[in-house]
Structure 1
Amino acid sequence: MLRRFSVDFAIFSMALDAALTLLVLRGAALLRSQLPAFLPGLQPLRALYLPTHLYFLAPLLWVLILLVVSAYDPRRTYRAADEFGRVGFGSLLASLCFAGLLYLTEREVSRGLFVLFILLNFVLLLGWRMMARLVWKVVKAPPARRRVLIAGAGEVGQRVAQEIQQYAWAGLELVGFLDDDPAKRDCDLPVLGTLDDATRVVQEHGVEDVVIALPRRAHARLDQLVQALHELPVHVYVVPDYFALALYRASVEDFAGIPMINLRAPALNDYQRLVKRAFDLVVGSILTLLALPVMGLVALAIKLDSPGPILFRQQRVGENGRLFTMYKFRSMVVNAEALQDQVTEVREDGTIIHKKPDDPRVTRVGRFIRRYSLDELPQLFNVLKGDMSLVGPRPELPWLVERYQPWQRKRFAVPQGITGWWQVNGRSDKPMHLHTEEDLFYIQNYSLWLDLVILWKTIWVVLRGRGAY
């Protein structure tokens, strides 16, 4: 049986993509020859002939480029958004390469035929993957099983276990834990033995992957455990407790010919950063042009309502802790920052609340523009400048960041945004420094599709005016 996320399925995917590309190229040629009958203004093709070598090169080109962008890698295509993004990027890159190939070798090929081929091929390559996911969801075909054992039942090991259980649908099956602490074996965790029992447990339970998640104090046991597992046919992964110090994620990199772990690897890869910035520039420019009349009316209302500047400039903390000047329409009295102590509240547990619904510093116009987030419109210029993104964690005040716990600083691993996952799930009802988990959810699950979903939800949240003050 062809199992999902298996090597056989990856080979099947490559063969199917090649076959579809070949059929689409031939079908596009036939379709292009018939179009003049339906579109009289379109010039008929002189001949239906396509050079034979293109029928070999096109499928080969598409498969190779999809292979390069990891569209067939099961570790990178668990989520639909990841798979569709890689197929889309790979198709775009293959289309550009194919266009260059035709320009250098076969300039007589119709541009209309080329466009038809590119569009139809993208639709089919994406379409069969969507259908496959729907079929798997309905039929629930079992994926290839991978039994996982975790060495270390502490906080790090339990976090790894939670992640593995979330991917159970992809075939990952948690067998249990190994731990030397007797107290761990007396709790509810499925602890199967001590670290010295690793060989026995792996063989008895048919384990294929061992994840070592030991605390820093158990570093000496790491070498012993790796040596014990060396003779067994298992994959060994190390998740040291040092990862808790990383801003977001770690990666293995080649440094001077030596493989090393980078604890400050960026949360977005180069491709994701390129797509996100391009999206910000295109959509941000359109939104800025559409918002200019509204911004003019808001500026006039602020000027007539109270003395002081129209724009409010404030230092905020951006990506990787970089300070920048954020723009907003002024919604408070001129000396609002000097009066901050009047509204700041420190709770018994030490958490700080610096915003209240009945803030006396807010002006009449300010209450209206805050309710509907009109005061945030000038941040579109921050987006165009590159200080911010349309979607991301909100940029925080420096004095609040100084009081952050180390784990909260992970929210600065991506560009800060005008709107984000936190805003569409509570806005000011949930102060951002108390709900960093939602920002981390966005970082860990980032995709262009998630950005689009957040922007769509933002429209309805803003119209309702819920949680904004």
Structure 2
Amino acid sequence: MTSIDIPEQRPRLRSRGSWRRLPSGRRPGEEARLRGEGTAARRAWRRAYVRRAVVLDAACASVAAVVGYLVRFPPADPTAPAVAPASAWLALTLPVTWVVVMYVARAYEKRFLWEGPEEFRRVFFAAALVLAGVGVVSWAFALELARGLVVVALPLATALTLVSRHAHRQWLHRRREHGAHQSTTLVVGHRSGVAALTEQMTRDGYHGYRVVGCCLPGGPDAGDGTFGGLPVLGGLADVAAVVERYEIDTVAVLPSPEIDGPGLRRLGWELEGTRAELLLAPAITEVAGPRVRIRPVCGLPLMHVERPELRGARRVTKVVVDRTAAALLVLLTAPVLLAVAVAVRTTSPGPVLFRQERVGRDGRTFPMLKFRSMVDGADRQTAVLQGASDGNGVLFKRRDDPRVTPVGRLLRRYSLDELPQLFNVLGGSMSLVGPRPPLPGEVERYGVDMHRRFLVKPGLTGLWQVSGRSDLSWDDSVRMDVRYVENWSLAFDLMILWKTLGAVLRGPGAY
């Protein structure tokens, strides 16, 4: 991003009748570097993003209308029925209707775009509104609508819109990974929390949060003016002044005893006069939206955390989906399984399959299957190589492991060695999606938090698979597993399965 020279100044911010000054001590050029081009300029891309979304939605509806019309009324078929006026009008007006209903369903609001599943939920809601509207109008006015046109056009418009929205979001993520469309972010809290959140935001740069500084208890006077490479721009009482001085786009506030309910309320009031967005990190960060509800209790709005639903009908549904999908995948990948088995058997001595004891649900062990990707007896050589591990302190991993065969290296690169675990899923010891299946030796080193993972079956893929695999730190691995257990849902599983394809093709952490 470009920077401009902004003269050193000390703005003042009124806070409940008193003026508060920001601690001084910044070098003249540093303020310009942190401010960059200003909040308005940094957010200009959002309007263009929304306009593109509108155009893409209209294009998707147009394609769906044309395809539906041609399927129902093929021009080359002399026996095709005559086109009813209502059907022709539906095909012509579908693009405009589609965009208008998307607007009514709030599918163009910036808070729902480019992050989280809410954007896609609103697309589904808009599609349901269109279908209901077409049904009501055709019934009320006795219109002769071609059902074949409706059956083809509306589902196709929904599918194309979802694909285009996803592709649009991926384009934005790639732009952000290259430094564009970033929001300057101020992290507020204690040192341990600030360090953890900053690391997370830096690693997941595609979310678009560029941490430019922090506010800590004591402010810059408590140290040398920096913490972990970040400028300490002020204390916990100086947040609003820091935001105004450096034109901060986003303020992320971590749980802190100094910033209680009244303090947060006052901070929200102070930030109303700026362009900054306020993000609050709850104390239980791994519990996501579906389990959290705000309910009035004794006249107070309190957060109610539901229990994770790990039993009953939802578990039965997961078992049925797992085994049905695993059976279909075995049939579809049978040629690949056979080809890999022949390659493993003919390129190195030893068995085709490698069986290893892993720990599953409720702490029970089971034999996990993999295609052998190492020399026969490689597991007995682990102790010799332990000192050269590239893992995270608990898991043994080595990037240039000499035990891996040439064919095994290719199998690991594209996770083909994991395919036999489909038979573990069929047998009921594993799930398609879940935490990573650990070794008994790893379990002995687990803390209390990691035992939470044994409430569900381990998975062939999971959050660890789509988030970096062997490149994850141990703390990140714990966080991923706990997050999955706490927030499991069928939609969550489908999202992970979708992301697994991209993770396998890119191969991050595959060694």
Which of the five TM-score ranges fits, normalised by the shorter chain? Answer: 0.5 to 0.7
> In 2, distance between residues paired with 1:351 and 1:15?
48
Choose from 185, 196, 207 the match for 1:159: 196
**1:395 and 2:437 are equivalent in the alignment:** yes
Cα 1:82–1:358, aligned 2, differ >3 Å: closer, same or farther? Answer: same
Measured against aligned partners, the alpha-carbon deviations of 1:189-241 in whole angstroms (never above 9, x if no partner) come to 221222233343344344564322255xxx1453563254253134544336x
> What does residue 204 of structure 1 align with?
245
**1:328 and 2:366 are equivalent in the alignment:** no
Choose from 209, 218, 225 the match for 2:263: 225
Structure 2 length-normalised TM:
0.55
> In 1, distance between residues paired with 2:232 and 2:90?
60
SS of residue matched to 2:195: helix
Deviation at 1:449, TM superposition (A): 3.4
Contact 2:86 2:145 in 1 (8 A): no
> What does residue 225 of structure 2 align with?
186
Structure 1 length-normalised TM:
0.59
Contact 1:391 1:417 in 2 (8 A): yes
Cα 1:197–1:261, aligned 2, differ >3 Å: closer, same or farther? Answer: farther
The farther-off stretch of 15-24 and 115-124 is: 15-24
Cα 1:103–1:313, aligned 2, differ >3 Å: closer, same or farther? Answer: farther
> What does residue 306 of structure 1 align with?
none
Deviation at 1:385, TM superposition (A): 6.4
> In 1, distance between residues paired with 2:129 and 2:456?
29
Cα 1:59–1:279, aligned 2, differ >3 Å: closer, same or farther? Answer: farther
> What does residue 45 of structure 1 align with?
82
Choose from 422, 427, 448 the match for 1:380: 422
**1:238 and 2:274 are equivalent in the alignment:** no
Write the letter of the residue equivalent to 2:245.
E
> In 1, distance between residues paired with 2:319 and 2:295?
28
> What does residue 114 of structure 1 align with?
150
Deviation at 1:112, TM superposition (A): 3.4
RMSD of aligned alpha carbons: 6.5
SS of residue matched to 2:270: coil
Deviation at 1:450, TM superposition (A): 1.6
**1:289 and 2:331 are equivalent in the alignment:** yes
Cα 1:264–1:456, aligned 2, differ >3 Å: closer, same or farther? Answer: farther
> What does residue 36 of structure 1 align with?
74
Write the letter of the residue equivalent to 2:233.
L
> In 2, distance between residues paired with 1:27 and 1:404?
58
Write the letter of the residue equivalent to 2:293.
E
SS of residue matched to 1:404: coil
Cα 1:439–1:397, aligned 2, differ >3 Å: closer, same or farther? Answer: same
Deviation at 1:403, TM superposition (A): 0.9
User: Unaligned 5+ residue runs, structure 1?
Assistant: 303-309, 360-367
> In 2, distance between residues paired with 1:195 and 1:89?
42
Contact 2:186 2:250 in 1 (8 A): yes
User: Unaligned 5+ residue runs, structure 2?
Assistant: 1-39, 346-352, 485-491
Contact 2:189 2:215 in 1 (8 A): yes
Deviation at 1:115, TM superposition (A): 4.3
> In 2, distance between residues paired with 1:171 and 1:114?
39
Deviation at 1:418, TM superposition (A): 2.3
> In 2, distance between residues paired with 1:155 and 1:148?
17
Matches within 5 A, 1:55-454: 71-78=107-114, 89=124, 108-118=144-154, 121-122=157-158, 125=161, 129=165, 130=167, 148-152=185-189, 154-164=191-201, 172=209, 174=211, 176-181=213-218, 182-187=221-226, 188-207=229-248, 209-214=250-255, 219-223=257-261, 225-226=263-264, 228-234=266-272, 236-239=278-281, 242-243=283-284, 252-254=292-294, 257=297, 258-260=301-303, 262=305, 283-290=325-332, 314=357, 316-318=359-361, 323=364, 325=366, 328=369, 379-384=421-426, 388-390=430-432, 393-405=435-447, 416-419=458-461, 437=477, 440=480, 447-454=496-503
Measured against aligned partners, the alpha-carbon deviations of 1:267-325 in whole angstroms (never above 9, x if no partner) come to 9xxx9x99998985665222222566998998xx99xxxxxxx996956235xx67574
> What does residue 364 of structure 1 align with?
none
